[in-house]
Each structure stands twice: as C-alpha cells, then as structure tokens.
C-alpha cells in the first residue's frame, strides 16, 4: 500500500497539481474525464520535438528510423502490457471513440438487416452512436441490457437477449458514471458460448486495473492514453488477429497500402492496414512512458490507493443532508456520481469550482443512462493515484458548504 509519503513523492511529477483555482489550492477530481500527465511523459514529448522528430516508416534517414523504432517499441510495450498475442493486434487510433467507430464500421460491414447488437444502458455515447450509424446504414437492431438500483448490469437479461440473430455484444468494462466494474470475463465467455464476438470499452478500466486481453478472451478491447497519465489523441484498438485480417480497412491513405494504381489498391499488413495517414508518433512514443509510470508504481498499488480514497470519501459523503450516490455496486472503481437534494448539478459544480475543487457535471456522455436514472445529470468526483486523503477532506468540506448554500 502506498504511504502518504509515496503519494507526495508521486505528486512531484505533476506540477499542475500545485496550481490554484479561484484563489484556492486546486483539488483535481476530474480524472475520469482525463488524468494529469507526469513529467516523464511531457519530457519525452519535448525531447522528441527538440531532438528526433521525423515521420515514421517513410525514410531511410537516421531520424526517421529512430522515430519508427520509438513508435514500434511503444507498440511492443503496449502489447506486453495488455498481454496481446502479437504486435499486429495492437492498432493505434485517436482514442477509444475512434477505435469503436473503426470496429463498428469495418467489422460491422459484415452485418445485415435484422442482425442484432447487444449494448448496455450504461454505455458512453462512444459505444452507442457508432452502432446507430451502422444501424442507419444497414438496418441492424440494437438490444440494450438494463441495470439494477445499485448500477449493476442485469446479467440474466444480458443472457436472455442472445438469439440466432445476435452478431455482436459491445459493453464497457467499467462505467464512467456509476463506476461499476462489469463481470466482463463471464460475459465474454457467455457470448462466445453463443458464437458471438465481443468488444469491450476499456476506457475507464485501463487506468485502474491490469488488462489481460488473452485472459478476458475478448475479440476487441479499446482504450485511450489520456486517461492513463498519457498524452491526448492516442488510443488503442486491440483486436484478435483472425478478425483484423478479415476486416476491410477503415480509412484509406498513406501507410495502409501495399501497392496503389488507379485500377486497384492492395493493403499493407497488420497493424498498418488500419493506420492510414501520419500517426501521432510523438504521442505514441510518449504513451510508453506513461505505462512506465504505471508499472513503476504498480497497478495493484494504484488500485488499492484509489479504492481507499473511494471508501473514505463515500463513507463521509453520505452524511451530507440530501446526498444521493448513483452507483453503489460492491465492485466499483474510484468514481462517485452524486446529487444533493433538488439542486442542479451545474450549480453544485460551480460552487465546488469556486472552492478550488474540479469535478465534472452533466450527463457525462451517457444520456440514456441519465434517462434510466430519471435525472438530468450528476456531479462526478473521481480519483487518480496522486490524490490525497487531505484532498478528499478538502472536497468533503467544500461539498458540505456548497450543499448548505443550495439547501
Ligand atoms: N468510453 C468510456 C467509458 C469513456 O469514459 C470515454 C471517455 N469519457 C470514452 C469511451 C471515450 O473516450 P475518448 O473520448 O478518449 O475517445
């Protein structure tokens, strides 16, 4: 378990945590939206821009080869980190959103009118709208799994939705609103018993737990670097090789081709078939440093610290009069969505900001979940490894004050 001293040491790598907001020491609790970035990632970006920047895979010159090596070393690092079978299964994208769009568009091109895709009511819009675009294109039907009052998936209903028309199931590993950790391994196993491939949206799991794609046996797993202490604009699509090989390209352009004539074009081997255009090679290289950061602390240590903060804060929060927490599953990551009495989440968010506390307010890109909960939105506080118990106390104090003002 990380000590207070360890956390203070970790915080030294995040100068942004020392800034002020509204004249108060900032307490950054919007880690679910994006986490802050340690010096070693920022320094790597600066190092590359000042010493090594050159386009990848396109030159024989030294700089281009150095940059290509850095990008491909990062791919190998990520492969190892998520335990993918081969580097060909690690595709770089702009983020989780693009990775899901890629799968819906490319893998989905095999679906036909009337085919069914299973989603859940707790999905982020990124795992809803790409399937709706596909529905508009080819007439698939979306089936949606509900939740219980604790914010857990109705697994019985999930099982009951499978039938001979089901062609895909796509669901989050961890909810960005409720924090619920879904039993994804069991869900994948059930889907496979029905011959149905699975995509897991790991945007909220990858920052908080180790991911082993071979153990999960999922067909696709997607996540974003910026939520994992990494740079913005980088994401990963893991896909089983057998699918990626069968799938048509998602976008056309440089890098993804083998030979181009006006009559006919052949495509590059994996993973490049899905990486059209100049990638964010600087961000990709720097992402490896973010994974170094996680590995040096140890994901188990990160998870234990965040969990301790979650328990500590939730236990004290419930004493605030009129406070309701959305998402009380026993297996929950360090996200707390809440409302106080009849106050609007924006008012609460503004009053917290005035006290230096940065939380997110609104529908959190999960409008169908808000409809299910029958609320317009929530306030959401979420923790990362650098948050302290002192900050949790600061948040609780600010929340108590805000709640009293809004009473
Ligand atoms: N899925 C989930 C569960 C998320 O929390 C998010 C980010 N809020 C996304 C998808 C989309 O990620 P990105 O914006 O990095 O593409």
d(CA 144, CA 157): 9
Binned at pLDDT 50, 70 and 90, residue 346 comes out as very high
227 CA → ligand 1 middle, Å: 9
Q: What is the pLDDT of residues 214-245, one digit of tens each?
A: 999 999 999 999 999 999 999 999 999 999 99
Tens digit of each residue's pLDDT (9 = 90 or more) over 178-205: 999 999 999 999 999 999 999 999 999 9
212 contacts: CB under 8 Å, gap ≥ 6: 82, 83
Atom of ligand 1 nearest to the CA of 172: 3
- For residue 126, the ligand 1 atom closest to its alpha carbon is 10
Contacts of 22 (CB under 8 A, 6+ apart): 353, 354, 355, 356
Q: Does the annotation mark 365 as catalytic? A: yes
The residue whose CB lies within 8 Å of the most ligand 1 atoms, and thus the one to mutate among 31, 33, 96, is: 96
Query: Mutate which of 365, 367, 380 to test ligand 1's pocket (most atoms within 8 Å of Cβ)?
Result: 365
Q: What is the predicted pLDDT for the residue at 57?
A: 85
Q: Is the pLDDT of residue 58 over 80?
A: no
Q: Where are the alpha helices (DSSP H) in 87-182?
A: 96-106, 129-138, 155-160
Using DSSP's 3-state secondary structure scheme, residue 244 falls into helix
Cα(266) to ligand 1 centroid in Å equals: 33
CA of 229 to the centre of ligand 1 (A): 14
**Measuring from each residue's beta carbon to the nearest atom of ligand 1, which residues come in under 6 Å?**
95-97, 124, 126-127, 172, 176, 201, 203-204, 224, 365
**Residue 363: exposed, middle, or buried by beta-carbon count in 10 A (0-12, 13-18, 19+)?**
middle
pLDDT averaged over every residue in the chain: 97
- On the 0-12 / 13-18 / 19+ scale of CB atoms within 10 A, 45 is middle
Is a pLDDT exceeding 90 seen at residue 271?
yes
């Amino acid at each position: 378990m990380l000590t207070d001293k360890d956390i203070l040491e970790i915080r030294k790598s995040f100068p942004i945590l020392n800034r002020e907001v509204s004249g108060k020491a900032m307490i950054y609790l919007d880690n679910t939206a994006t986490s802050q970035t340690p010096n070693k990632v920022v320094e790597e970006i600066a190092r590359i821009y000042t010493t090594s920047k050159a386009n990848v895979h396109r030159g024989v010159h030294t700089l281009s080869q150095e940059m290509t090596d850095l990008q491909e070393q990062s791919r190998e690092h990520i492969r190892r980190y998520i335990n993918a079978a081969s580097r060909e299964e690690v595709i770089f994208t702009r983020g989780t959103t693009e990775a899901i769009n890629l799968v819906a568009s490319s893998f989905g091109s095999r679906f036909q009118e009337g085919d069914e895709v299973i989603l859940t009511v707790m999905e982020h819009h990124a795992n809803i709208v790409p399937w709706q675009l596909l529905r508009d294109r080819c007439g698939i039907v979306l089936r949606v799994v509900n939740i219980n009052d604790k914010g857990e998936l109705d697994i019985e209903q999930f099982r009951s939705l499978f039938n001979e028309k089901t062609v895909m199931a796509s669901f989050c590993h961890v909810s960005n609103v409720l924090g619920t950790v879904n039993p994804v391994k069991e869900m994948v196993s059930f889907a496979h018993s029905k011959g149905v491939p699975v995509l897991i949206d790991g945007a909220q799991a990858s920052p908080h737990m180790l991911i082993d794609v071979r153990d999960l046996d999922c067909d696709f797993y997607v996540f974003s670097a910026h939520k994992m202490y990494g740079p913005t604009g980088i994401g990963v699509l893991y896909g089983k090789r057998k699918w990626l090989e069968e799938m048509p390209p998602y976008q056309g352009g440089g890098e993804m081709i083998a030979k181009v004539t006006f009559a006919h074009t052949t495509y590059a081997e994996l993973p490049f078939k899905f990486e059209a255009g100049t990638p964010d090679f600087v961000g990709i290289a720097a992402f490896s440093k973010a994974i170094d950061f996680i590995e040096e602390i140890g994901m188990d240590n990160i998870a234990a610290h965040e969990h301790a903060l979650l328990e500590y804060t939730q236990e004290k929060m419930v004493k605030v009069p009129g406070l309701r927490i959305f998402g009380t599953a026993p297996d929950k990551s360090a996200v707390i969505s809440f409302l106080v009495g009849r106050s609007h989440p924006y008012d609460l968010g503004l009053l917290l900001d005035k006290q230096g506390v940065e939380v997110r307010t609104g529908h959190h890109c999960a409008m169908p979940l808000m409809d299910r909960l029958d609320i317009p939105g929530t306030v959401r506080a979420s923790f990362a490894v650098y948050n302290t118990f002192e900050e949790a106390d600061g948040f609780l104090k600010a929340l108590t004050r805000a709640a009293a003002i809004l009473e």
